Each structure stands twice: as structure tokens, then as C-alpha cells.
């Protein structure tokens, strides 16, 4: 092995530290090198060359950290099978299998200073130890131990302890102190024999606690990880540029791996977690920025600027002034569209903040610049709601199909609605008109990205409820344009904490509308226990007597034997028959045919129904200003952001509105959500709380690439995420393909981590 210069910090090390450094260096020299293929012998003169071997070649042998986990010391096939259940296939997986928590047994205390309830470590001599059968299948090992300051009783429910610990031996015990018949005691503490404890693993230090599976126990797993860390940590190879590590004061990778598993101090543990968390976020941000660059540079964009006076005239026609938040978001969108690079922007805002108006004004700019627009929504209900809103606002501006446009509009845009319920003949006409350019704006569900849907010149694509669509669907919509990339504006009414926006939507710029339009009512929210159900029904009846309307949301469509929750169909029949027989009730759920759903919604909007019993299908896209009560059954079953969406369906008119959260099958976690939403009206604060309570996977309702693979980074660490994003942007600005010699290791690591996600520098 070629000589490696000592670490520049070697001269500053203490003698013991130098000795440890040398041990690690010697250990790394023992790491197996890649197998060498012997050179083929030259053929003898006149020998006929054999035809090339067409048989499939075996994959090259793995080496170093990518060896199978069975190559690690102490891992035989039975343990390897158990490790596979935890996602550990290779030595690298084992090194990155981080503890879920730690027991700090680093301070040794005298027995006389112990207090009940403490987690402590003691060095004691065993005065006596004995085993007795307390059940035919259960043995109790009891020991009397102590030091010069006092004695303590110790018990284990493990017969093998009696074979390992002998009277008069010295042991190190770590665990929680309790009492037994008035005396100090410890039950099932971790132990190590003092004479064999050259390096403590289970006691006398900060001890890692790992996730387990059936048949896998803490001590054997800890020993396996320790051996792997000692042998293989240096073999991982540093991939962060030295200049970046120095500037951000990050540990080298080998030290971070060692100290995240077996930290020498709480300070080193914190530094190790910071380094490894930065790695995850930095690689994620690099991937996001590369994806964004691919979108913007794969094909040219189209520069679009609003014709003179057009937006001013449209503003004047609106029934309300735009808020400062709407104006700021609109300015950011228009600035993006005016450049020659394709816009990729996320517009987020609380329920009722006016995102659709901003999107429509951006679409008008595209339309009056000679391009087409598309607005895609995840459900038919929401697509139809958008279409009604857009046509109503266009009509107020005097842009009515079939009529001459008023000044300063050069023509009247033609908008069409395409959903799964669109008849075959109408669909054919709509698609033909979009392909020829005779229609200008298509509002649709996912039908817009289906095969056969083409645009003459798509300039701006708007995707609502972005989190319900994947990256592949977003790319499919972009490919509807030929020879250039359209601008993309994604919208969401589910407020997204900035940390999550940077992680999941790191390839999009983010605009936020943080204020509500004037006149929007704050919905009064009340958490009700099951015993308060009748009071809720009385309140609903009083509201209906005032001429108002009511939503009742159920978590299920039909009753289920496995889930204790109210079902919409059964609740509709029960309420109609037993509670409100004199009122007009309607039913809405996702399994109904499109015509039946539209009929129910149209009747409720028209005021023909007093109560609409529904599932979560009304979460978005329903606008009934006369509805003033939202009753949510089994409210603890929903997330905070979803409950906030339900609450946003009322309070859209001039009357005071209410959200009643009826607890069904209480749980500590569910009740905590109800406590939070009862007191919190800020959607962004609720989204952050929801993220912390449920995690990113449940918050989004879908697996996002990369996000759920974060093993150690925390989404609550905004500062580190911002740093990672800034460093990724800076690096790619100076070297977009990471071709510099000092970035070769980083490029290889990025390709390895994202090999299944198609990272491409070309």
C-alpha cells in the first residue's frame, strides 16, 4: 500500500491519541484491496484466435464497505438473515445503521452516592451471586455487590449471567437504580467484567441503543457494530471537499461514523450527527438542483411579458383587491416567466388565500402572448371548481366566449374542462381544439397528461395540490410541449413548512401567500367529546333554522369490522331517519359515479340540501359560502393539515362559522392533534406541528424520493438545511458537472446514493 501522509492534526495530538491514530491507520491497511485480474498469456505464434466469449460476465466482486455483511466479524448466516430484516445487506449498511438513542453511562459513581431513578455506572466487587428457579421456565440470578462506600442488590432474569460472573470478581454495571424492601437495587443492568474490559462497549460510556428485530439482541449487535466500525470506518472514503469541511467545521467521515456509534463525549456525538446529517441534506440538495437544471436546460424556455394594461384591466374587474401576499407572489411568477428559462415555482398559501386568482393572471399572460395554458387538479370536484371560478372571473372582465373582447384584451380566451366524466364526443372536440390552437386554456384532472392529449403551443402548466402528483407526472405534462419547456407553476393549499419545502420541493422556487383576503371569517373551532354529540346536533339544527347549511365529514365510506369509525353511508341513513328526519340531507363519497357526485354538490351549492354527509372528498375544491358548520366525525383520525382543510370549507361567506371536532375513538396522539387545532388558526404553524407529530411520510400521504431515506437528519433543523442548499447551489454554479479533481469522490458518492433515481450530469 502506498504511504499516506499523516493527518495534519497529528502533531497536535496527545501521545494516547497518536497511538489510537496509528492503530486505525494500520487497521485500514488491512482492508482488502480490489481483486486483481491476472494478465492473459500471449498466444503462441500461428495459433488461431478464439472467437470472443459471448457468455454473460459475472459482476465484478465487491470489496471494502460494499462487501456482504457476512464479511463483518461476528456475522454468520443466522445473524445476517436477521440484519436483512433491518435493511442491512452490506458492511456499508451496517456502518450507516445508526442508534435510535443512547444511554449515558459515562460517569462512574460510588455506590454510596446512588439515588433511586438515576441511570448510572458503578465499578463494584461481587460479594456473592446465586441462581434460583422462580418458575419452571424462569430463573432469577441475584448478586450482592458493592464498593468501599456501600452495597447494592442486583438481579437478572438470565441464567447465563451466573456462568459469567464469579464471586470476588470486579464488574462494571450500568442501569437504572431502584429500591427493593428499602434497599438500593438494580434490575437487569448491562455488565462487563472489569479485567476483560480493555475497551468498554456496553457500560461505562455513552452506550448506543439500536433498533432490533425478533431474535436479535442488544449486546451481540453492539459487538458486531463495534468491530465493523473499528475495521471499516476509514475504508468508507472521504467525499466532501476538504475546503468545505474546514469552512463548515465538519468532522471527517471516519471520525463521524466512529463517534455516532460509540461517542467519546456528548460534544463529539453532536458533531458527528451534524456531519452525517449535513451529508444527507447536501446530497439531497445536489440531486434537487441537478433535477432543476435538467428541467431548465434540457430545452429552452419562452420569455413572456404581460401586454401593456392587460393585468391592470383584469385587476379592476375583480370583486376584491389583491392582498399584498398575492401581489408579491404574482410579481415573482411574472418575473420568472419574463426570463428565457422555464419557470419551476411552487405557490403555497393557506386555505382561501387566493392562489387561483394569481394562477389565472399568470395564465392570461401566457394566453395573450400567443401560448396555451393548462391547469391540472387531482380530483374532478376540484377541477370543476377551478373551471367555474375561472369562467366567472373571465366573465366579470367581459371575456365571454362568442362575444367581442373589451379593450385592452386582443381576443377572448376559450377555456375547456376535461375530466373522466367528459363524454367521448366532447372529449374528441376538446382535444382537437387544443391540438389546433382553437382553444386556449384546458382545465382538467390527470387526463391532461394521458396519451393522445396534445397542445399546439403549451406555454404555462399549473398543477394544483402539487403533493398529490409525482415528479413523473410533472415531467409528463412538460413533455406536452415540443421543442421547448413550458413554465410550471405548482400550487398547494396544504401549507408546507420551509424545511419540508426545501427537502421535497428543492427543485422548485417557493412563493408563499401568508395572508387571507379581507372579509374571510375566522372559523371558531371546538373539540367535542362523545358525550357532547347531542349538543352538536342541537347546534346544527339552530344554524339550519337560521338558513345556513352544514357539512358532516366521516372517515369511512362503509362500516368496517377492523376500524371503529363512523361511515358516511350508514351515518347518512341514520341521520336522515333518526336525527334530522325533517331536513334535506345529501351524500357524497369517492365511490359514487361522477354524475351522482355532481348532482349532490350542485344541490348543496344551490341550497336545496341542508346537510351534506361526506367523506374526505370535500377536503379541497368545495366553495359554498352559505355553509357555516363543519362537523368532523372521528376527528382524531385525521392529520392537522387535513382538519385545517376541512375547516377551510366554511367561513367563506359573511356569516360566523364553526368547526366541531367530534372525538370518536380517543388516543393520546389523536387528542394531542385536537388540542393543537382547537387553539391554532395559522395553517403554517399547524403544518409544522403536523410534520413533527406524524413525520413527513404521513404528512404528505405519499413517499417522496429521498425524503424518507433520511436516517439521521432532522427536518426541524432549518439552519443546517439552508446551509446544505446554499453549498449545493454554490458548488453547482462553479462546477455544474462536478468534474473537478477535488470533486471526483463527491460525484461518485452522489451517483451511488441516487443510482436508482437517475442522477445524470450530462
Q: Tell me the C-alpha distance between 222 and 233, whole Å.
A: 15
Q: Tell me the C-alpha distance between 612 and 608, whole Å.
A: 10
Q: Who wins on pLDDT, 754 or 190?
A: 190
Q: How far is CA 45 from the centre of its chain?
A: 66
**Which of 54-63, 256-265, 649-658 bottoms out in mean pLDDT, i.e. has the lowest?**
54-63
pLDDT at 426 over 50: yes
> 296 lies in a domain?
no
> What are the phi and psi torsion angles at 202 (to 5°)?
-100, -15
Look at residue 42 in the predicted model and tell me its pLDDT: 35
Look at residue 743 in the predicted model and tell me its pLDDT: 92
Percent of the residues in the chain that have a pLDDT greater than 90, as a whole number: 43
Dump pLDDT digits (tens) for 283-329.
Answer: 988 988 887 777 667 677 889 998 889 999 999 999 889 999 999 99
> 243 lies in a domain?
no
**For the residues 334-356, what does the mean pLDDT come to?**
87
Look at residue 546 in the predicted model and tell me its pLDDT: 95
The C-alpha cell of 418 is what?
A: 376535461
User: Could you tell me if 549 and 630 lie in one domain?
Assistant: yes
Look at residue 22 in the predicted model and tell me its pLDDT: 54
> What are the phi and psi torsion angles at 20 (to 5°)?
-65, -40
User: Could you tell me if 477 and 605 lie in one domain?
Assistant: no
Look at residue 706 in the predicted model and tell me its pLDDT: 44
**Which of 57-66, 116-125, 130-139 bottoms out in mean pLDDT, i.e. has the lowest?**
57-66
**For the residues 141-147, what does the mean pLDDT come to?**
93
User: Could you tell me if 561 and 676 lie in one domain?
Assistant: yes
> 366 lies in a domain?
yes
Could you count the other beta carbons within 10 Å of the beta carbon of residue 279? Answer: 21
Confidence bin at 47 (pLDDT 50/70/90) = very low
Domain count, the chain: 4
CB-based burial, 713-730: b 16+ in 10 Å, e otherwise: bebebeebbebbbebbee
Confidence bin at 29 (pLDDT 50/70/90) = very low
CATH number at residue 176: 2.40.50.140
Confidence bin at 8 (pLDDT 50/70/90) = very low
Helices (H), 146-209: 161-164
User: Could you tell me if 408 and 551 lie in one domain?
Assistant: no
User: What single DSSP character describes residue 68?
Assistant: B
User: Could you tell me if 87 and 177 lie in one domain?
Assistant: no
What is the pLDDT of the chain when averaged over all its residues?
Answer: 83
> 157 lies in a domain?
yes
Question: Which of the residue ranges 99-103, 330-334, 744-748 has the most confident prediction, judged by mean pLDDT?
Answer: 330-334
**Which of 144-148, 225-229, 332-336, 518-522 bottoms out in mean pLDDT, i.e. has the lowest?**
518-522
**Cα dihedral 97→103→107→108 (10° resolution):** -110
Report which of 491, 485, 534 is spatially closest to residue 512, judged by C-alpha positions. Answer: 491
pLDDT at 391 over 90: yes
Look at residue 711 in the predicted model and tell me its pLDDT: 85
pLDDT at 734 over 80: yes
> 15 lies in a domain?
no
Q: At which of 640, 660, 680 does a domain end? A: 680
> 675 lies in a domain?
yes
Confidence bin at 485 (pLDDT 50/70/90) = confident
Q: At which of 442, 470, 492 does a domain end? A: 492
Structural domain of 87: 61-100+221-232
Report which of 175, 173, 174, 170 is spatially closest to residue 194, judged by C-alpha positions. Answer: 170
**Which of 127-136, 208-217, 285-294, 657-666 bottoms out in mean pLDDT, i.e. has the lowest?**
285-294
**Cα dihedral 197→199→200→204 (10° resolution):** 100
Dump pLDDT digits (tens) for 153-172.
Answer: 999 998 889 888 999 988 98
> 154 lies in a domain?
yes
pLDDT at 198 over 60: no
The C-alpha cell of 757 is what?
A: 433515481
Q: Who wins on pLDDT, 613 or 716?
A: 613
CATH number at residue 228: 1.10.150
User: Could you tell me if 228 and 181 lie in one domain?
Assistant: no
Helices (H), 437-567: 471-478, 498-504, 533-545
> 226 lies in a domain?
yes
Look at residue 16 in the predicted model and tell me its pLDDT: 55
Q: At which of 655, 680, 705 does a domain end? A: 680
DSSP 542-588: HHHHTT-EEEEE-SBSS--SS--S-BHHHHHHHIIIII-TTS-EEEE
User: Could you tell me if 120 and 148 lie in one domain?
Assistant: yes
**Which of 140-154, 173-187, 352-366, 492-506 bottoms out in mean pLDDT, i.e. has the lowest?**
492-506
CATH number at residue 653: 3.40.50.300
Look at residue 31 in the predicted model and tell me its pLDDT: 43
Show the 3-state SS of 89-141: CEHHHHHCCCCCEEEECCCECCHHHCCCCCEEEEEEEEEEEEEEEEECCEEEE
User: Could you tell me if 417 and 563 lie in one domain?
Assistant: no
pLDDT at 37 over 70: no
User: Could you tell me if 487 and 560 lie in one domain?
Assistant: no
Look at residue 12 in the predicted model and tell me its pLDDT: 45
Q: Who wins on pLDDT, 386 or 36?
A: 386
Look at residue 420 in the predicted model and tell me its pLDDT: 79
User: Could you tell me if 152 and 228 lie in one domain?
Assistant: no
Cβ–Cβ under 8 Å, residues 622 and 402? no
User: Could you tell me if 541 and 644 lie in one domain?
Assistant: yes
3-class SS of residue 506: coil
Cβ–Cβ under 8 Å, residues 408 and 308? yes
In degrees, to the nearest 5, what angle opens at C-alpha 724 toward C-alphas 723 and 727? 85
pLDDT at 457 over 70: yes
User: Could you tell me if 166 and 121 lie in one domain?
Assistant: yes
In degrees, to the nearest 5, what angle opens at C-alpha 542 toward C-alphas 536 and 545? 145
pLDDT at 278 over 90: yes
pLDDT at 381 over 80: no
Residue with C-alpha cell 451466573?
162
Dump pLDDT digits (tens) for 218-267.
Answer: 889 999 999 999 999 999 989 999 999 999 999 999 999 999 999 989 99
Beta bridge mates, 586: 612
Amino acid at each position: 500500500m502506498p504511504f499516506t501522509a499523516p493527518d495534519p492534526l497529528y502533531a497536535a495530538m496527545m501521545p494516547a491519541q497518536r497511538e489510537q491514530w496509528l492503530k486505525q491507520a494500520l487497521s485500514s491497511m488491512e482492508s482488502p484491496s480490489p481483486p486483481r485480474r491476472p494478465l492473459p498469456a500471449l498466444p503462441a505464434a500461428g495459433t488461431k484466435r478464439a472467437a470472443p466469449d459471448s457468455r454473460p460476465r459475472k459482476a465484478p466482486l465487491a470489496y471494502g464497505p460494499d462487501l456482504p455483511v457476512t464479511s463483518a466479524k461476528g456475522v454468520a448466516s443466522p445473524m445476517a438473515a436477521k440484519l436483512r430484516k433491518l435493511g442491512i445487506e452490506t458492511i456499508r449498511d451496517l456502518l450507516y445503521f445508526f442508534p435510535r438513542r443512547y444511554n449515558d453511562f459515562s460517569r462512574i459513581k460510588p455506590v454510596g452516592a446512588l439515588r433511586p431513578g438515576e441511570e448510572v455506572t458503578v465499578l463494584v466487587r461481587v460479594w456473592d451471586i446465586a441462581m434460583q428457579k422462580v418458575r419452571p421456565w424462569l430463573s432469577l440470578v441475584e448478586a450482592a455487590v458493592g464498593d468501599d462506600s456501600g452495597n447494592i442488590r442486583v438481579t437478572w432474569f438470565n441464567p447465563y449471567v451466573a456462568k459469567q460472573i464469579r464471586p470476588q470478581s470486579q464488574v462494571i454495571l450500568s442501569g437504572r437504580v431502584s429500591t427493593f424492601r428499602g434497599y438500593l437495587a438494580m434490575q437487569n443492568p448491562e455488565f462487563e467484567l472489569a479485567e476483560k474490559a480493555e475497551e468498554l462497549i456496553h457500560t461505562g460510556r455513552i452506550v448506543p441503543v439500536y433498533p432490533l428485530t425478533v431474535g436479535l439482541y442488544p449486546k451481540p449487535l453492539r459487538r458486531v457494530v463495534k468491530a465493523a466500525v473499528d475495521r471499516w470506518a476509514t475504508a468508507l472514503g472521504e467525499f466532501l471537499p476538504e475546503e468545505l469541511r474546514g469552512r463548515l467545521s465538519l468532522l471527517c467521515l471516519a471520525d463521524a461514523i466512529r463517534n455516532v456509534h460509540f461517542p467519546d463525549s456528548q460534544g463529539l456525538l453532536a458533531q458527528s450527527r451534524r456531519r452525517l446529517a449535513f451529508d444527507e441534506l447536501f446530497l439531497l440538495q445536489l440531486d434537487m438542483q441537478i433535477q432543476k437544471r435538467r428541467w431548465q436546460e434540457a430545452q429552452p424556455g419562452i420569455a413572456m411579458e404581460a401586454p401593456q394594461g392587460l393585468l391592470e384591466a383584469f385587476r379592476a374587474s375583480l370583486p376584491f383587491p389583491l392582498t399584498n401576499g398575492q401581489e408579491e407572489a404574482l410579481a415573482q411568477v411574472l418575473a420568472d416567466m419574463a426570463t428565457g428559462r422555464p419557470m419551476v415555482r411552487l405557490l403555497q398559501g393557506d386555505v382561501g388565500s387566493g392562489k387561483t386568482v394569481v394562477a389565472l393572471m399568470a395564465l392570461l399572460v401566457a394566453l395573450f402572448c400567443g401560448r396555451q395554458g393548462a391547469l391540472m387538479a387531482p380530483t374532478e370536484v376540484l377541477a370543476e371548481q377551478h373551471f367555474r371560478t375561472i369562467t366567472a372571473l373571465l366573465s366579470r372582465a367581459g371575456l365571454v366566449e362568442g362575444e367581442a373582447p373589451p379593450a385592452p384584451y386582443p381576443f377572448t380566451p376559450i377555456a375547456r374542462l376535461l375530466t373522466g366524466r367528459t363524454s367521448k364526443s366532447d372529449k374528441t372536440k376538446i382535444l382537437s381544439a387544443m391540438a389546433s390552437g382553437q382553444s386556449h386554456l384546458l382545465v382538467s384532472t390527470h387526463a391532461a397528461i394521458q396519451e393522445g392529449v396534445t397542445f399546439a403551443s403549451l406555454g404555462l402548466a399549473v398543477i394544483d395540490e402539487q403533493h398529490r402528483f409525482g415528479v413523473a407526472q410533472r415531467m409528463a405534462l412538460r413533455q406536452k410541449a415540443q421543442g421547448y419547456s413550458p413554465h410550471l407553476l405548482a400550487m398547494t393549499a396544504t401549507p408546507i413548512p420551509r424545511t419540508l419545502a426545501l427537502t421535497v420541493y428543492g427543485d422548485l422556487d417557493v412563493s408563499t401567500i401568508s395572508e387571507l383576503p379581507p372579509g374571510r371569517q375566522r372559523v371558531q373551532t371546538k373539540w367535542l367529546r362523545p358525550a357532547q354529540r347531542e349538543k352538536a346536533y342541537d347546534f346544527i339544527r339552530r344554524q339550519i333554522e337560521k338558513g345556513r347549511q352544514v357539512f358532516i365529514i366521516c372517515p369511512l365510506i362503509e362500516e368496517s369490522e377492523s376500524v371503529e369509525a363512523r361511515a358516511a353511508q350508514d351515518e347518512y341513513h341514520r341521520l336522515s331517519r333518526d336525527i334530522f328526519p325533517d331536513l334535506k340531507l345529501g351524500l357524497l363519497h369517492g365511490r359514487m359515479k361522477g354524475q351522482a357526485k355532481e348532482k349532490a354538490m350542485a344541490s348543496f351549492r344551490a341550497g336545496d340540501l341542508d346537510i351534506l354527509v361526506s367523506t374526505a372528498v370535500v377536503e379541497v375544491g368545495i366553495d359554498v359560502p352559505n355553509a357555516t358548520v363543519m362537523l368532523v366525525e372521528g376527528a382524531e383520525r385525521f392529520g392537522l393539515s387535513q382538519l385545517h382543510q376541512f375547516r377551510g370549507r366554511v367561513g367563506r361567506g359573511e356569516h360566523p362559522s364553526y368547526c366541531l371536532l367530534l372525538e370518536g375513538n380517543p388516543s393520546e396522539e389523536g387528542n394531542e392533534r385536537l388540542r393543537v387545532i382547537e387553539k391554532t388558526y395559522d395553517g403554517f404553524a399547524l403544518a409544522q406541528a403536523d410534520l413533527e407529530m406524524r413525520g413527513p411520510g404521513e404528512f404528505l400521504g405519499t413517499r417522496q424520493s429521498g425524503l424518507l431515506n433520511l436516517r439521521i437528519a432532522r427536518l426541524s433543523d432549518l439552519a443546517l438545511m439552508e446551509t446544505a442548499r446554499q453549498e449545493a447551489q454554490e458548488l453547482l454554479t462553479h462546477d455544474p458537472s462536478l468534474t473537478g479533481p477535488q470533486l471526483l469522490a463527491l460525484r461518485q458518492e452522489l451517483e451511488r446514493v441516487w443510482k436508482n433515481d437517475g442522477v445524470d450530469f450530462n
